[in-house]
Structures are given as structure tokens and as C-alpha cells.
């Protein structure tokens, strides 16, 4: 607890750190980072500067999650629907992804963070795609927290692709009728891009929006949700702590009583 106290010193008056159970830190936290554009508008800046301001929130989230012992952290960086945004904004985001990943990689590697991506990287600009691929390869043997970056990711297409893979195996004879009949929900999860990872226990969404935005629809069936009105660039280690404290007060029954 001493290390945790030092991590959150000074402590805001609304947080009682004695309520934190360090043995019940969520194993997997998933975050829908929302509000960069609104933050920029509130501060009289363009949307590009809002996205740049959001990078500090990402740094804080990764650092604090790792320090607290979170084993898996998934961040929703760019969805399949985000291609509908203005071309100039997409270009800014893709350049920002590449620049930030390159700048942060050494530090993440030193902290033994393992980087994974989910989503279709093939549609990304070559520089951005290569930067992510190099980060995944370089950190593949690390034993610390797994940072999962969802980029060009959409849960519906992920589920469709999983069903397609099962159908192709059935047609080729790799899966017979008995195997198909015995296919379980856990078996199906093995065809998703998050295979071999635990489902998120806690999903955090910033900016006060109450929607899933096509994010991990299969994986978050029994996740606990925490929505904060805080815009993403203002999300800091104390906001993460508030989310975890709220999570620890939930009675997780998984459909039982």
C-alpha cells in the first residue's frame, strides 16, 4: 500500500485510498477514449490539437495501469467507422499514431510491456502499419502488462470473420459435424482476435457517452461499465483510480443471485 500511496500523492479529497483493495485490481481493463474533439472545442483549439492533447492521457493510463498490476489494458484508438471522419483528421491521427508509438516504444519495452494490436492493419498507411508491426515484434517476449491497441477495429466484422473461419474449416473437413455441435462459447472466442486473453472485467468510457461504439461486443458480455463525463485529454491517474474503486464496489453475479 505504501507504493500505491506514493503513486497517488497528493491525493484528491474525494478519494479514500484505504478503500482500494490491491488484491482485486481488474486483470483486464478496456477503455473507450472519447472527447478529444469536444476538449479542443472547449479550449478554442482545432480537433488535431485535441488528439495531440489526448496522448498524455494515454501515457498516464498505461503507466498507472502497469504500476497497479493490471495485466491487460485495451485501448480503442481508431474504429472501422472512424474512416468516415474528414481526411485531414484521419491523416493527423495516423501520423500521431506512428510518431507516438515510435517515441514511446523504448520506454514501454524497458517496462516489459508487451504490445498487441487488434483490427485490420492492412488499411493503415504504410508508415503507421510498420510502426505498429515493429512494436509488436520487438515486445513479443516481454512478460509485463499486455497493451492491446485496437486500431481499425470493429467488433461486428471481427465476429463475422470468426464465423467465416469456422465455416471454412467445416467446409474443408477440419471441423466435422460432431465438432460443430460441441462448439462452445469459449471455443468461439478462440477465433476472435483477442484469443488467449481474458475478457475485460472493467470497461471505461470517457466524455459521458453511453454507447459501445462497436467495441469488443462479444468479449464484454459481463464486463462492468464505468462512464465518466471527463473528456479524454483530462483523464488522469486519479480518474483511473476512481473507476477501479467503483468497480470494486460492484456485486458481480454473472447472471446468478
Residues annotated catalytic, as ranges? 34, 82
Provide the 3-class DSSP secondary structure of residue 29.
strand
* 60 close to 241: Cβ distance less than 8 angstroms: no
d(CA 108, CA 149) in angstroms, rounded, equals: 13
Grid cell of 169 as nine digits: 474449416
**What separation in angstroms does the CA of 164 have from each of 150, 155, 171, 188?**
21, 14, 10, 11
Q: What is the DSSP letter of 115?
A: E
* 40 close to 50: Cβ distance less than 8 angstroms: yes
E-strand spans in the chain? 28-32, 72-79, 114-118, 146-153, 202-205, 224-227
d(CA 236, CA 54) in angstroms, rounded, equals: 10
d(CA 63, CA 130) in angstroms, rounded, equals: 24
Amino acid at each position: 500500500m505504501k507504493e500505491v500511496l506514493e503513486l497517488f500523492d497528493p491525493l484528491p479529497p474525494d478519494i479514500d485510498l484505504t478503500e482500494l483493495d490491491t488484491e482485486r485490481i481488474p486483470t483486464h481493463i478496456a477503455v473507450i477514449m472519447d472527447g478529444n474533439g469536444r476538449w479542443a472545442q472547449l479550449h478554442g483549439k482545432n480537433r488535431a490539437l485535441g488528439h495531440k492533447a489526448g496522448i498524455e492521457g494515454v501515457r498516464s493510463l498505461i503507466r498507472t495501469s502497469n504500476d497497479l498490476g493490471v495485466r491487460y489494458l485495451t485501448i480503442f484508438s481508431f474504429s472501422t467507422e472512424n474512416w468516415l471522419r474528414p481526411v485531414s483528421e484521419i491523416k493527423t491521427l495516423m501520423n500521431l499514431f506512428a510518431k507516438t508509438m515510435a517515441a514511446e516504444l523504448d520506454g514501454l519495452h524497458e517496462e516489459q510491456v508487451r504490445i498487441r494490436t487488434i483490427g485490420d492493419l492492412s488499411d493503415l498507411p504504410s508508415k503507421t502499419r510498420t510502426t505498429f508491426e515493429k512494436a509488436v515484434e520487438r515486445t513479443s517476449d516481454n512478460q509485463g502488462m499486455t497493451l492491446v491497441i485496437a486500431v481499425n477495429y470493429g467488433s461486428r466484422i471481427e465476429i463475422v470473420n470468426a464465423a467465416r473461419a469456422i465455416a471454412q474449416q467445416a467446409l474443408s473437413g477440419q471441423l466435422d459435424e460432431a465438432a460443430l455441435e460441441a462448439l462452445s462459447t469459449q471455443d468461439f472466442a478462440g477465433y476472435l482476435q483477442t484469443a488467449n486473453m481474458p475478457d475485460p472485467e472493467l470497461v471505461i468510457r470517457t466524455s459521458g457517452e453511453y454507447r459501445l461504439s462497436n467495441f469488443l461486443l462479444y468479449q464484454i458480455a459481463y464486463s462492468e461499465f464505468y462512464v465518466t463525463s471527463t473528456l479524454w485529454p483530462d483523464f488522469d491517474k486519479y480518474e483511473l483510480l476512481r473507476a477501479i474503486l467503483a468497480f470494486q464496489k460492484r456485486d458481480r453475479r454473472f447472471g446468478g443471485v
